Amino acid sequence: MEIPARVALVTAPRGDAEWNALGDEAGTLLSRYLRINTTNPPGNEIVAARWLAMVLRRDGIESQIFEPAPGKANLYARLRGDGSARPLILLNHMDVVLASPEYWQVDPFSGAMQGGYIWGRGALDMKGEGIAQLMTLLILKRAGIPLKRDVIFLATSDEEIGAGVGAGWFAERHADLIRDAEFLITEGGTTRANERGGIDYFGVGTTEKSPFWLDMTARGTPGHGSRPTPDNPVHRLIRALDRIAEWRTPLVVTAGVERYFRDLSGLETDSTRRRWFSDIRAALRDSVAVRAITSDLTYNALLRNTISVTGLKGSDKTNVIPPLATAALDVRLLPGQEPAAFLAELQRVVGDTAVTFRPQGPSWPATESSTDTELFRAIEAAAHARRPDALVTTPMLAGFTDSHYFRRLGIASYGVGPFPLTVSESRGVHGNDERLSPEALRFGVRFLYDIVQRVAGR
Ligand SMILES: [Zn+2]
């Protein structure tokens, strides 16, 4: 696949004309990147990795491709600084989730540039940000910007299904290549645009909830469907699930969430909500406020451990009572919550010893990065350079990204969403008609470069 013309640079880009040209280069690169189908499974990220390596090589940046399994790949490139400060990692995943073309206005792997957008699965999650990170590297190299810290570009497989061959694999198997890093930037942040063309806030991801997925099993006496048994495991499972569905998990206000609501209170136009948000702990003692606030799905998820029952299985035959029935539970825990304590509480709510729970896979405690760092201050400064009065805040992510692998190594990791998106534009993530406007891309390339140059430039 061909790659677009490069914008020549002899010094750091200045002025809108040069940045617009770089934004156009990014748009053409993104359109090409979106044509590489990396739907996971199977992902086939090796094709994307080879393409990224080719783009990097053209600017004289060598990269290494690691292949943990056939078709899977993790790409690593490193721009050298003078070593006076520790490296910064730019982390992006190459895989995307399934797209159902029948619900799209365009082919999701066409990279179409039409109607004021660049279209394709991954435009927002997260090939667009991957391209902004790539452009940052290309600009630093092309313009010969002196660096005090190395800048590492890490493009990984397998973020979307977590089969153990992506960022986690890399962080474990090639820890020597990243262990010295101080900082990391990846997905999981928000630049929230409003319908008036302004920016409401810059949200930096410093923490996220942790998944604690469970298999739930009810046991009982099997038999023929024509002779009902009192301990039919399917009935048992239904009774237990009913208790779980009715359970209102306790409201918990973490320090980060308290700060986030206080930050948001300044944006509220309604005086009651402004009062609630300015002291969320006090508000949650008022049942009217609790009902109003938790009716917002996002706020609700930030204030409690949540459980979604997502899977059910009984007998394959209608006339057979099975020996066991199972359900899948998507549990998400707040920072500071102990999985074992949560499990004991769940067992108490169910109140049936014939019903058991088993974690589906490894879980980890939620991790958090401090806001008192040079990188966080660089993000704030870059945000304020664009919008002097904009709020910079730290929303907790109800989902999760690959950053926990790196936070556990002591690397301060932040979610940065470089593109200004309205609430409705963000819906393309894992949805239909995922797309990014060239203006948002241009903004994001310049914003991300600015952050990196502030924290890594000499
Ligand atoms: Zn993603």
Q: What is the DSSP string of 239-300?
A: HHHHHHHH--PPP---HHHHHHHHHHHTT--SHHHHHHHHTHHHHTTSHHHHHHHHTSHHHH
Distance 182 CA to ligand 1 centre (A): 22
Distance 84 CA to ligand 1 centre (A): 32
pLDDT at residue 433, as a whole number: 95
Distance 124 CA to ligand 1 centre (A): 8
Distance 38 CA to ligand 1 centre (A): 13
Distance 350 CA to ligand 1 centre (A): 34
Distance 32 CA to ligand 1 centre (A): 19
Distance 450 CA to ligand 1 centre (A): 22
Distance 186 CA to ligand 1 centre (A): 9
pLDDT at residue 361, as a whole number: 82
Distance 275 CA to ligand 1 centre (A): 34
Residues 6+ positions from 254 with CB-CB distance below 8 Å: 334, 335, 336, 396
Distance 443 CA to ligand 1 centre (A): 20
Distance 161 CA to ligand 1 centre (A): 10
- Provide the total of helices (H) and of strands (E) in the chain, helices listed first: 16, 20
**Which tokens is 175 given?**
């820890």
Distance 277 CA to ligand 1 centre (A): 29
Distance 126 CA to ligand 1 centre (A): 5
Distance 119 CA to ligand 1 centre (A): 16
Distance 296 CA to ligand 1 centre (A): 23
**Which tokens is 172 given?**
């474990």
Per-residue pLDDT of the chain (458 residues; tens, 9 = 90+): 566 778 888 889 988 999 999 999 999 999 999 999 999 999 999 999 999 999 999 999 999 999 999 999 999 999 999 999 999 999 999 999 999 999 999 999 999 999 999 999 999 999 999 999 999 999 999 999 999 999 999 999 999 998 899 999 999 999 999 999 999 999 999 999 998 889 999 999 999 999 999 999 999 999 999 999 999 999 999 999 999 999 999 999 998 899 999 999 998 999 999 999 999 999 999 999 999 999 999 999 999 999 999 999 999 999 999 999 999 999 999 988 999 999 999 999 999 999 999 999 878 888 889 999 999 999 999 999 999 999 999 999 999 999 999 999 999 999 999 999 999 899 888 889 999 999 999 999 999 999 999 999 99
Distance 135 CA to ligand 1 centre (A): 19
Beta bridge partners of 63: 77
Residues 6+ positions from 120 with CB-CB distance below 8 Å: 31, 34, 35, 108, 109, 110, 111, 112, 127, 434, 435
Distance 185 CA to ligand 1 centre (A): 13
pLDDT at residue 162, as a whole number: 85
pLDDT at residue 336, as a whole number: 86
Beta bridge partners of 151: 79, 88
d(CA 364, CA 366): 6
pLDDT at residue 1, as a whole number: 56
Distance 426 CA to ligand 1 centre (A): 12
Distance 397 CA to ligand 1 centre (A): 12
**Which tokens is 158 given?**
């397998």
Residues 6+ positions from 347 with CB-CB distance below 8 Å: 355, 357
Nearest alpha carbon to residue 37 among 109, 124, 137: 109
Distance 190 CA to ligand 1 centre (A): 13
Distance 188 CA to ligand 1 centre (A): 8
Distance 94 CA to ligand 1 centre (A): 9
Q: Are 135 and 445 in contact (CB under 8 A)?
A: yes
Q: How many CA atoms lie within 13 A of 151 on its CB side?
A: 28
Distance 401 CA to ligand 1 centre (A): 7
From the CB of residue 41, how many other CB atoms can be counted at a distance below 10 Å? 12
